[in-house]
Copies of this chain bind each other. A is one copy, B any other.
Amino acid sequence: MKQQYPSRLLSDAVEAISSLPGVGERSALRLALHLLSQPKENVHHFADAIRKLSDEALYCSDCRMISDGERCAICSDASRDHRTICVVESVRDVMSIEATGQYRGVYHVLGGIISPIGGVGPSELTIKELVGRLSALESGENQAELILALSGDVEGETTSFYIYRQVCGLGVKVTTLARGLGFGADLEYADSLTLGRSLLNRQIFKP
């Protein structure tokens, strides 16, 4: 049922808010009325933060991650290992890996994943830039490493394979994330694909 709005301004705002992914018309109305009940300055601050993000955000010239300057904080950090590059789909994945505190290399953000259904081909992603970065790494005493940290679904596997084919001639060690049961995970709740693969790829027990 199409809702009738008492005000054009309200229906415009609801339409704009409900264009966000996962926000229906009912939630959008709730949010619009919340914003309407707030002081004007708060709403201005809200709208400006979003506008500025879109207008002023830069992408790191090295890793293509969103950044306030020309190079992001990670790529500018000389203490990090610039010969280990972790390929991820989006900035969210960078944040997830950074949160582990286990990684001291740098990143490369693809900006998506190869998806024939979604109409995303390799040329839409930053794969050419990645190959350029790897080619530019002088061969040092230790071999450079490319970690493919993409999702485990068909599209992620396809993208990993495509990147592997592009870089396999560059003398770079190509690795991927370990897959298996989660640490602390219950066998009972594991999906059968993961459980089966974990059995096939079983490892020597190190007590």
Residues of A within 8 A of B (CB): 1, 3-10, 12-13, 15-17, 19-23, 27, 29-36, 38, 40, 42-57, 65-68, 72-74, 90-92, 94-95, 98-99
B50 and A17 form a contact (CB under 8 A): yes
Return chain B residues, CB-CB under 8 Å to A94: 6
A9 and B92 form a contact (CB under 8 A): no
Return chain B residues, CB-CB under 8 Å to A12: 49, 52-53
CB < 8 Å neighbour of A95 from B5, B31, B42, B73 = B5
The distance in angstroms between the C-alpha atoms of A67 and B49, with both chains bound, is 27
Return chain B residues, CB-CB under 8 Å to A53: 9-10, 12-13, 32, 35-36, 43
Chosen A-B contacts, 19 in total, with CB atoms closer than 8 Å, are: A4-B98, A5-B95, A6-B91, A9-B49, A9-B66, A12-B49, A13-B52, A13-B53, A15-B49, A16-B45, A17-B46, A19-B46, A20-B31, A23-B31, A30-B92, A36-B57, A38-B54, A43-B51, A47-B47
B99 and A29 form a contact (CB under 8 A): no
Q: Which residue of B lies closest to A90 (CB)?
A: B33
Question: How many copies of this chain does one complex carry?
Answer: 2
B50 and A16 form a contact (CB under 8 A): yes
CB < 8 Å neighbour of A66 from B7, B27, B30, B42 = B7
A74 and B20 form a contact (CB under 8 A): no
A44 and B49 form a contact (CB under 8 A): no
Return chain B residues, CB-CB under 8 Å to A95: 3-6, 29
A6 and B65 form a contact (CB under 8 A): yes
The distance in angstroms between the C-alpha atoms of A54 and B16, with both chains bound, is 14
B36 and A31 form a contact (CB under 8 A): no
B33 and A91 form a contact (CB under 8 A): yes
